[in-house]
């Protein structure tokens, strides 16, 4: 088999796709330009000609205590006295309502609205800089880097205020060496509800009574972690909120008159405890303001805002504490905290509302002018309008101040409207696009799809050339990339890697198309199979077939946000429809049922068909039974879907919740029993399949994995689930033992998984060999068979599973020996090889099964049943494909070779998308199952690569399994051809016994071309599907994102879809390459096995 050309071509195709994705994403998801300038105390922001030191004025407050309760949803903060049966998260913070009611001039409670993405790092950045985030910022939540923009922490330090921080260690990475004193605690372990909070409480009160601080920041994480682990509707949430209520009371009691208390949440949470998106439940947190001295004119009025944007906290705190507003802030001061114009007597040194608005507006205008001079992305009309409006307001305000007259009542509202307009304009334009990069990415991806299709059609020709067609495109790519890099160095003085990669990818594609034009004459391989002519590559007859119309229609549907939202159920319907198409198409062609008797054939005038009605009925029954199994699996898989915010009344599957969240002990036990049963059945089915085909008889590494590592891994999973479901306070005497088990069991499972996969790779053969002496001198005098392969030990199994590659030659030799009377003695032994018929598929199947258990470990326990359905669906699809191939072969309709048709490839990739949704995943950031990062690492991580990898494996588990198992589509018709006995597959000699996968050894070139064709078809089709992520699907997502980049739902629906599509394609292609490489590794091992078994003179 020509393994190197196959692998080289696939690596090249994937590389071209990666470059196209990289270019488009780089143009579509650019972060906004950061203005690295800082405000200073000498900035002229107040009226007057002469510069003044703004920071020397006496501030309204000398100190501030900032208590951040992570994920403090506004619903948690409100109090309803009429609620007689509050839920666990309701009415647990009565101190807020009591304080607002009893001291209205000293306190306020507002809804505090965050800008998406609602992840902690982006929220900290938002309420310290006053800037707006961009969509791509969500990716930085794993690796928080230092904030370079001007921010409150920097301004506090500039004026000599001592900032003391304690809590979430994210602050340390965002503001390195900025604190007077810092007490960070690890934050990434969402299962730990108490470490951060208890650490804060050990130092909070002693710090407050001291005099070595001016700004105290305490970031509590218990509420957020409780939401992630149990959800808001859990008794643990009631305990956490009650604890926070006590903390707020204690802090209020210790406040001094010159101190402001701010209690706030950085974001909210969904009903499942997640966050990251832009639903109102995720964006609406709470903010509570309090001071022992009066800070408000009176009780709340109708003019006060109901919702406060988070960016408004920045200018408000800056002016109340007497520091400059950060340079890039687009926030608006919270007016109720400032006295009306002319009523500042009660607030010594405080600013009036109009003064605060003026300083705020001048700062925002200064930023707008600086930013528009550096970046040209703000529309000129909007920019001119904003500048003209500020000039008018500035003239009116300054004339009012110079003349000493009372300002117009409309002036304050006009300044507010100006600030609101600036923020709206920035929000609309900060999603900057680079049209040139987007166009280049689209072009490369479009050509990559076409190239992938041509590769699948010309696989025979390319393999016959031994990969020579790849050398010129690679050389052209290197030449073009180096040339562009040199040109950039000469003209610009630096190299931009994106354009070098673009030139390399584009030149290699163009040269490949040019070379493909010479394949006009049909090529004939050794077995007589003709390669297609180039003229027939893209004809409507090849493209407009039912299997390809399905992904093409799905690509077009990506332009609809409604389709993206309802994709999970639509894909399930498409899998069912296309699977149903197979028997309908067979019946239409008259292949599903035995042909009616022909009197001419019975009279001997026509040759009899090489099939029996019983064989056809058996294959048809198998196909229909597997279709029924597929339909049942599809129906049950709908019970494991999650819900998007846009789906309204949709209720997520109860199986998505970990067992630790379930409070009903009977329901918890039922879920656990179902999970363990599914796990046991998964293990049994894998071992049973391998045993049936005789692959558990040898003593190699793969067999050891199937016999011992597979069941041990299942036991580890079952015990891990039991320990994880145990409530923390159930066995207090065994708390340390339970904690040790939570740490050791998943790590032991990871070790077993790594050991098993390594053994499969190092020793992939599952063949058991035995030799026996010849039974008689006459038989021993004849040329002996080189091998005889069987799938079982029993004689009866041998009769049905013989794989004699040279069986027919041996029989001819026997006949010739009888005629010639030869009786020369030869005592060389005959060889029996058990499991040789499934030598390729067995390690691939075990590899996928073992990998599936490892991926299941990263999911909630309830997903075990969904993974079992995935296994059953894979088996059903394989048998439907095998039966369809056999029925075509029995009727003589099979075209020859080992090529896998489009229909099973499309079904396989559709199933990957379908089970992406059936394992509880969605193409949205709130649906990411972050808990996977802590499986085996309950204390968190020191780096970000490992947790990010675990979350990626969890998210794209279905893509991984179907991509790695893709070669099974090539092997399964050969595995199942034993059912067709002598009438089987048309590519064998007439009357030949079923030799199963040994046919591939007889036709190495055909084997290589079929494997290459299957892989390229999977890459092509898998992109034509939504989350299965194949090239054309990625291309369709890219087109949808480009066309709809100004669509209302682009950042809510289409941009997340693009990110998941691109990420999923990278993962799918990587594991497809792993699956193909495993097949090549098995082929090498089989070749060595034959060399050891058969001496050279005998071959």
Q: Is the pLDDT of residue 792 over 70?
A: no
Helices (H) and strands (E) in the chain, counts: 41, 11
Q: Give pLDDT tens digits for 1045-1099.
A: 544 455 667 778 878 888 888 999 999 999 999 999 999 998 888 887 765 555 4
The DSSP output letter for 407 is P
Give pLDDT, residue 870. Answer: 94
Straight-line distance from the first to the last Cα atom of the chain, in angstroms, rounded to the nearest whole number = 17
Predicted local confidence at residue 434, as pLDDT? 72
When pLDDT is averaged across residues 491-518 and rounded to a whole number, the result is 86
pLDDT level of residue 37 (50, 70, 90 thresholds): confident
- What pLDDT does 431 receive? 53
Summarised one tens digit per residue, pLDDT across range 274-284 is 877 777 888 89
How is residue 204 written in tokens?
């909070």
| Residue 349: band (very low, low, confident or very high) from pLDDT cuts 50, 70, 90 | very low
Distance CA 958, CA 976 (A): 25
92-106, 137-151, 191-205, 610-624: the lowest-pLDDT one: 137-151
Q: Which helix (H) or strand (E) holds 201?
A: helix 195-209
| Residue 85 CB partners (closer than 8 Å, separation 6+) | none
**Mean pLDDT in residue range 145-171:** 89
| Cβ partners under 8 Å of residue 1097, min gap 6 | none
Sign of the alpha-carbon torsion through 828, 830, 831, 837: positive
Nearest to 1044 by CA among 18, 28, 33: 28
**DSSP per-residue letters across 435-503:** HHHHHHHHHHHHHHHHHHHHHHHSHHHHHHTTTGGGHHHHHHHHHHHHHHHHHHHHHTSS--HHHHHHH
Question: For residue 425, what are its two tokens?
Answer: 């304009």
Residue 826's pLDDT is: 45
Residue 544 confidence (pLDDT): 66
More confidently predicted of 12 and 598:
12
Residue 101: how many other CB atoms lie within 10 Å: 11
Q: How many CA atoms lie within 13 A of 10 on its CB side?
A: 26
Measured between alpha carbons, how far is 322 from 282 in angstroms, rounded to an integer?
32
Query: Across the chain, what does the average pLDDT equal?
Result: 80
Task: Pick the most confident of 302-306, 526-530, 642-646, 917-921.
Answer: 917-921
**For residue 687, what pLDDT band results from cuts at 50, 70 and 90?**
very high
The kind and range of the H/E element at 633 are: helix 613-637
| Residue that the structure tokens 């899998």 belong to | 575
Q: Looking at the predicted structure, is the pLDDT value of residue 471 above 60?
A: yes
pLDDT at 540: 58
Q: Mean pLDDT throughout 370-397?
A: 86
Per-residue pLDDT band at 203 (split at 50, 70, 90) = very high
Q: Average pLDDT for residues 196-219, to the nearest whole number?
A: 93
- pLDDT score at 959: 94
Q: Can you tell me whether residue 833 is helix, strand or coil?
A: strand
Query: Quick one: DSSP state of residue 1082?
Result: H
- Cβ contacts of 48 within 8 Å, gap of 6 or more: none
How high is the pLDDT of residue 106? 92
| Contact predicate 167/219, CB 8 Å | yes
Q: What is the pLDDT of residue 665?
A: 81
Q: Is the pLDDT of residue 786 over 50?
A: no
Please state, for a pLDDT cut of 90, what percent of the chain lies above it: 37
Q: Is the peptide bond before 117 cis (omega within 30 degrees of 0)?
A: yes
pLDDT value of residue 768: 82
Pick the range with the lowest mean pLDDT from 171-180, 367-376, 770-779.
770-779
pLDDT tens for each residue of 122-143: 788 888 999 886 655 444 444 4
Q: Can you tell me the mean pLDDT for 136-165?
A: 76
pLDDT digits (tens, 9 = 90+) for 718-743: 999 988 887 766 566 677 788 888 88
**Helical segments of 254-287, H only:** 280-283
């Amino acid at each position: 088999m020509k393994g190197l050309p196959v692998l080289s071509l696939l690596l090249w195709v994937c590389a071209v796709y990666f470059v196209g994705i990289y270019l488009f994403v780089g143009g579509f998801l650019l972060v906004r330009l950061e203005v690295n300038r800082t405000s200073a105390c000498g900035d002229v922001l107040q009226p007057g000609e002469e510069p003044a030191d703004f920071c020397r004025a006496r501030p309204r407050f000398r100190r501030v205590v900032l208590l951040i309760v992570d994920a403090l949803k506004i619903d948690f903060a409100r109090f309803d006295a009429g609620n007689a049966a509050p839920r666990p998260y309701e009415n647990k913070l009565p101190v807020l309502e009591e304080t607002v009611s009893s001291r209205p001039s000293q306190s306020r409670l507002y809804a505090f609205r965050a800008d998406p993405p609602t992840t902690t790092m982006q929220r900290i950045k938002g309420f310290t800089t006053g800037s707006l985030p961009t969509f791509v910022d969500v990716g930085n939540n794993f690796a928080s880097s230092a904030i370079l923009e001007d921010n409150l922490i920097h301004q506090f330090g500039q004026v000599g205020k001592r900032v003391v921080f304690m809590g979430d260690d994210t602050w340390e990475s965002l503001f390195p060496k900025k604190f007077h004193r810092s007490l960070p605690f690890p934050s990434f372990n969402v299962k730990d509800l108490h470490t951060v909070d208890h650490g804060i409480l050990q130092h909070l009160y002693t710090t407050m009574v001291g005099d070595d601080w001016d700004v105290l920041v305490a970031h509590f994480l218990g509420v957020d972690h409780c939401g992630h682990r149990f959800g808001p509707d859990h008794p643990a949430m009631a305990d956490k909120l009650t604890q926070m209520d006590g903390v707020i009371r204690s802090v209020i009691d210790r406040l001094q008159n010159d101190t402001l208390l701010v209690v706030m949440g950085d974001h909210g949470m969904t009903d499942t405890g997640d966050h990251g998106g832009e639903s109102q439940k995720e964006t609406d947190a709470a903010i509570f303001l309090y001071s022992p001295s009066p800070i408000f004119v009176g009780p709340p009025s109708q003019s006060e805002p109901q919702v406060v944007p988070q960016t408004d906290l920045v200018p408000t705190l800056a002016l109340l504490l007497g520091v400059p507003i950060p340079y890039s802030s687009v926030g608006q001061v919270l007016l109720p905290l400032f006295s009306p114009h002319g009523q500042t007597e009660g607030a010594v040194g405080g600013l009036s509302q109009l003064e605060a608005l003026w300083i705020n507006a001048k700062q925002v205008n200064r930023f707008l002018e600086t930013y528009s001079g550096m970046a040209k992305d703000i529309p000129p009309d909007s920019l001119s309008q904003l500048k003209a409006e500020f000039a008018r307001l500035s003239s009116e305000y300054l004339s009012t101040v110079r003349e000493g007259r009372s300002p117009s009542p409309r002036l304050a509202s006009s300044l507010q409207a100006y600030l609101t307009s600036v923020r709206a304009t920035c929000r609309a334009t900060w999603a900057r696009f680079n049209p040139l990069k987007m166009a280049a990415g689209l072009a490369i991806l479009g050509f990559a799809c076409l190239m992938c299709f041509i590769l699948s059609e010309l696989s025979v020709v390319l393999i016959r050339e031994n990969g020579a067609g790849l050398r010129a495109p690679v050389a052209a790519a290197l030449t073009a990339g180096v040339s562009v890099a040199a040109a950039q160095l000469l003209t610009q003085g630096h190299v931009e890697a994106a354009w070098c990669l673009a030139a390399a990818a584009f030149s290699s594609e163009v040269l490949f198309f040019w070379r493909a034009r010479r394949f006009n004459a049909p090529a004939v391989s050794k077995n007589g199979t003709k390669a297609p002519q180039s003229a027939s590559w893209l004809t409507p007859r090849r493209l407009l077939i039912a299997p390809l119309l399905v992904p093409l229609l799905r690509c077009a549907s990506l332009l609809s946000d409604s389709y993206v939202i309802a994709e999970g159920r639509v894909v399930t319907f498409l899998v069912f429809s296309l699977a149903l198409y197979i028997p309908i198409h067979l019946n239409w062609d008259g292949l599903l049922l035995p042909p009616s008797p022909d009197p001419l054939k019975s009279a001997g005038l026509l040759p009899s068909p090489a099939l029996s009605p019983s064989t056809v009925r058996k294959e048809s029954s198998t196909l229909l039974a597997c279709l029924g199994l597929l339909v049942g699996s599809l129906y049950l898989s709908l019970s494991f879907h999650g819900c998007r915010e846009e789906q309204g009344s949709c209720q997520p599957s109860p199986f998505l919740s970990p067992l630790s969240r379930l409070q009903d002990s009977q329901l918890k036990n039922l879920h656990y029993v179902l999970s363990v049963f599914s796990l046991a059945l998964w293990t049994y089915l894998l071992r049973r399949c391998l045993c049936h085909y005789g692959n558990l008889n040898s003593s190699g590494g793969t067999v050891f994995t199937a016999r011992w590592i597979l069941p041990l891994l299942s036991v580890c999973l079952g015990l891990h689930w039991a320990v994880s479901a145990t409530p923390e306070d159930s066995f207090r005497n065994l708390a340390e033992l339970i904690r040790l088990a939570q740490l050791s069991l998943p790590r032991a499972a990871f070790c077993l998984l790594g050991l098993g996969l390594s053994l499969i790779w190092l020793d992939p053969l599952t063949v058991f060999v035995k030799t026996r002496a010849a039974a008689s001198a006459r038989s021993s005098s004849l040329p002996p068979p080189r091998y005889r392969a069987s799938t079982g030990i029993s004689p009866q199994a041998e009769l049905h599973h013989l794989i004699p590659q040279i069986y027919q030659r041996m029989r001819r030799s026997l006949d010739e020996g009888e005629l010639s009377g030869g009786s020369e003695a030869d005592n060389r032994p005959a060889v029996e090889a058990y499991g040789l018929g499934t030598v390729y598929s067995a390690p691939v199947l075990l590899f996928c099964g073992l990998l599936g258990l490892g991926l299941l470990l990263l999911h909630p326990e309830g997903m075990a049943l969904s993974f079992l359905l995935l296994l059953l669906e894979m088996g059903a699809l394989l048998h439907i494909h095998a039966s369809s191939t056999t029925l075509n072969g029995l009727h003589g309709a099979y075209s020859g070779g080992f090529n896998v048709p489009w229909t099973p490839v499309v079904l396989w990739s559709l199933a990957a998308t379908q089970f992406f949704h059936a394992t509880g995943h969605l193409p949205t950031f709130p649906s990411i199952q972050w808990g996977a990062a802590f499986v085996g690492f309950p204390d968190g991580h020191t780096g970000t690569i490992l947790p990010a990898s675990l979350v990626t494996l969890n998210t794209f588990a279905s893509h991984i399994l179907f991509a790695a198992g893709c070669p099974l589509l090539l092997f399964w018709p050969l595995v199942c051809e034993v059912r067709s006995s002598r009438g089987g597959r048309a590519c064998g000699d007439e009357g030949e016994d079923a030799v199963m996968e040994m046919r591939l050894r007889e036709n190495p070139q055909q084997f290589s071309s079929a494997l290459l064709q299957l892989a390229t078809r999977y890459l092509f089709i898998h992109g034509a599907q939504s989350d299965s992520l194949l090239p054309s699907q990625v291309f369709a997502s890219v087109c949808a994102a480009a066309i709809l980049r100004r669509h209302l739902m682009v950042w809510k629906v289409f941009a997340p879809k693009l990110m998941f599509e691109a990420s999923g394609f990278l993962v799918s292609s990587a594991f497809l390459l792993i699956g193909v490489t495993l097949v090549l590794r098995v082929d090498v091992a089989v070749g060595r096995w034959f060399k050891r078994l058969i001496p050279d003179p005998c071959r």
